Chain A
Amino acid sequence: MNNSEIRHLLNKYWETETSLEEEKLLKQYFSSGNVSEEFQEYSPLFDFYATELSRTSELNESSGISLLEKQKKSNVIHLRKAIIGVAAAGLIAFSVFWMKSEVDSGAQFANTYHEVEDPEEALKITKDALAFLSINFDKSSKKINKDLGNIKSAQIFK
C-alpha cells in the first residue's frame, strides 16, 4: 500500500469510520517492519495492540478440570460443615439447636450434585448425618412426650 492509502485509512481510523477489514490492513501495515517516516509516530500504538494480543492465559484442559475437582470437594466440605454446625449446636443445648452454624454465612456455599467416591469421606458424612438424625429424633420424641403429658394434666384439672 502507498502512503496516501495509509493516510486515508488512518484518518478514517481516527474518525471511527474504518471497518474491521480496514483495521486489519492497518495492523498488517504497521507490523510489516516497513513503516514510512510519516506514520512512525503511530507505530507504538499498533505495536501495543499486537503485543497485547500475544498475551495468553495459563489455563489448559487439565488445570481447569483439576480446578473443578477441587471445587467439588469444597462443596462437600461446605455441606458437611452445615450439617455438623447444626448438629454440634444441638449437642450443646437443644434450646439453641437451630441457631445458625458457623458456616461462612452461605456466601461461599456452592451448590451441586455430588456422589461421594471416597469411603473415608462417606463415613464422615454418614456419621454427621446420623448425629443430626439422632439428635433431632431424641429432641422430637421428648417434645412429643412432654406435650402428651400436658394434655393429660389438663384433663385432670377439668
Chain B
Amino acid sequence: MQDKEIMNLILPFKDKLYRFAYRIVGNSFEAEDIVQEILIKVWKKKEQFSQIENKEAWCMTMTRNLAIDKKRAKKMKTSSIENFHHIKDQSDTPAISMERKETVNRVREMINSLPEKQASVIHLRDIEGLSYKEIGVAMGLSLDQVKVVLHRARKALKLKFINKKQ
C-alpha cells in the first residue's frame, strides 16, 4: 500500500477519530497527536490493515485505547499542566458565543462525569450517529451490552438535567 492510499483510507474518518480522542483526553493537542499516532500505526501494519474489513471501527478502537492510555499517563503529571491545557483549549473550541460556550461546557462536564464507557457510548451514538453494531465493534461490546450502557448513560444524563433544574 502506498502512503497516498493509506491517507485516502484514513482521511474520510480522521475527524471522527479526532473527536473521539478529544472526548477522552479533553484537549486538542493530544487529540491531534493521537490521530497522528493512529496514522503511523496503520502505516506500520499496512499489510494487516489492508485485510481488515471494518477499518474505521478498528481505528476507533485504537483511538480509544491510545486516548485512555494517554489520559492515565497525564494523571501522573502536575495539575498545573492540566490547567494550562484547559485554558489554552478554550480558544480553540468552535466559534460560538461566550454564553453558548458556557452552557455547552456544562453539558460536557456532565457527560465527562459519567463512567468512561457510558460517556464514550453517548459520544459515538449522539454525536457521531453510529449504529449499535458499529459502536459495539469500536468499543468491543456486544449489541446487548451497548444497549445497556447507552440506557444507563441516558438515564444518568437525564437525572443530571433534572437535578440542575431544581
Contacts and interface: CB of A to CB of B under 8 A. Distances in A.
Q: Within 8 Å by CB, do A and B touch in the complex?
A: yes
B94 A54 contact: yes
Q: Is the interface of A mostly helix, strand, loop or mixed?
A: helix
B77 interface: no
Contacts of B4: 61, 65
B94 A55 contact: yes
Contacts of B53: none
Contacts of B111: 48
Nearest to A13: B154
Interface in B82-110: 93-94, 96, 100, 103-104, 106-108
A67 B35 contact: no
Contacts, number: 103
Contact of B18 (A47, A48, A55, A64): A55
Nearest to B152: A16
Contact of B104 (A16, A23, A44): A44
A68 B18 contact: no
Contacts of B103: 43-44, 47-48
Contact of A45 (B8, B107, B125, B129): B107
Given A45-B161, A71-B40, A57 B104 contact: no
Interface residues of A, number: 35
Interface string B121-132: 001011111010
B75 interface: no
A16 B36 contact: no
B15 A57 contact: yes
11 contacts: A14-B158, A44-B107, A49-B126, A55-B22, A55-B28, A56-B18, A57-B31, A57-B35, A59-B39, A64-B10, A68-B40
Interface of A: 13-16, 20, 23-24, 41-45, 47-49, 51-61, 64-65, 67-69, 71, 110-112
Interface of B: 3-4, 6-8, 10-11, 14-15, 17-19, 22-23, 28, 31-32, 35-36, 39-40, 43-44, 93-94, 96, 100, 103-104, 106-108, 111, 123, 125-129, 131, 147, 150-151, 154-155, 157-158, 161, 165
